[in-house]
Amino acid sequence: MQDALHIGGKALSSRLFIGTGKYSRNTLIPEVIARSGSEVITVALRRVDPSSREENILSHIPQQMTLLPNTSGARTAEEAVRIARLARAAGMGNWVKIEVINDQRYLLPDNLETIRATEILAAEGFIVLPYMSPDLSAAFRLRDAGAAAVMPLGAPIGSNRGLRTKELISILIEEAGLPVIVDAGIGRPSEAAEAMEMGAAAVLLNTAIATARDPLGMAEAFRGAVAAGRQAYLAGLGPIQQEAEASSPLTGFLNV
């Protein structure tokens, strides 16, 4: 497989991860998956009810998908750990997206608790993908704790405001030493493309697709945008010129 994203022993050809939380019905999910080309899907354990055949979200997710259960609702590292273990016990595999949020107004992640949860869960063999505020030293600690990638936010969850944290994310991409998956805030395909052009390993989206007028059309639009952004990154963007380059050097006379 060319240009695969390697995480947790898997090679993924799609760099678009999607969510499940905000659809008008779960029966849309299989088609969103098909149209987006996504191979990784995040599911809040809190929403999973294995005892309900009809309403169980998992029964709408095709077998080949990599499940990324998330710890949404956790307010402390301990809660996140407990949720992750419940998810594994429920047969959802060993990938986990750590979400520890202590701020119900903006839903911003608590990096400190996230690092603590990552340490514990990585040691237990989980493939840990922590949702975080883009902070380089936190990213280093997450890497050292055993995270498989980091997932910095572009803007607050559900805000569709795009890459507000662009500068910080590009520092993470350059310095963190592990895949950077931009999570939350991306509202438009152009913003997903931009994240990929910057060198993000992948993007994760939910609101932008789930609340679009035509979620299936939007899923496809993001598929194209993520692929285009990735291709541009690989092709190497030309440097941005601040000034027009003089056709004959201005200091050429010095060499004469």
**CB of 211: closest distance to other proteins in angstroms?**
5
Question: Could you say whether residue 188 binds other proteins (CB under 8 A)?
Answer: no
Q: How many CA atoms lie within 13 A of 27 on its CB side?
A: 2
Give the C-alpha separation, 122 to 148, whole Å.
9
Residue in 32, 41, 48, 219 binding other proteins, rule: CB under 8 A: 48
Would strands 127-132 and 151-152 be described as parallel, antiparallel, or unpaired?
Answer: parallel
Nearer to other proteins, 47 or 166 (CB): 47
**CB of 210: closest distance to other proteins in angstroms?**
5
Give the C-alpha separation, 4 to 15, whole Å.
9
Q: Which 8-state DSSP code applies to residue 254? A: G
- Candidates 10, 22, 97, 166; catalytic one: 97
Nearer to other proteins, 178 or 212 (CB): 212
**CB of 91: closest distance to other proteins in angstroms?**
15
22 is catalytic: no
Q: Which 8-state DSSP code applies to residue 248? A: S
Give the C-alpha separation, 84 to 7, whole Å.
18
* Tokens 């701020």 sit on residue: 103
Q: How many CB atoms lie within 10 A of CB 203?
A: 31
Strands (E), 202-241: 202-205
Question: Could you say whether residue 201 binds other proteins (CB under 8 A)?
Answer: no
**Residue numbers 118-177 binding other proteins by CB under 8 A:** 158-160
Question: Could you say whether residue 22 binds other proteins (CB under 8 A)?
Answer: yes
Give the C-alpha separation, 154 to 131, whole Å.
11
**Residue 207 marked as a ligand binder:** yes
Which amino acids are annotated as binding site for 1-deoxy-D-xylulose 5-phosphate, given as ranges?
158, 184-185, 206-207
Residues that bind other proteins in the complex, under the rule CB under 8 A: 21-26, 45-49, 52, 54-55, 73, 75, 79, 82-83, 86, 102-105, 107, 158-160, 206-207, 210-211
Q: Which residues are identified as catalytic?
A: 97
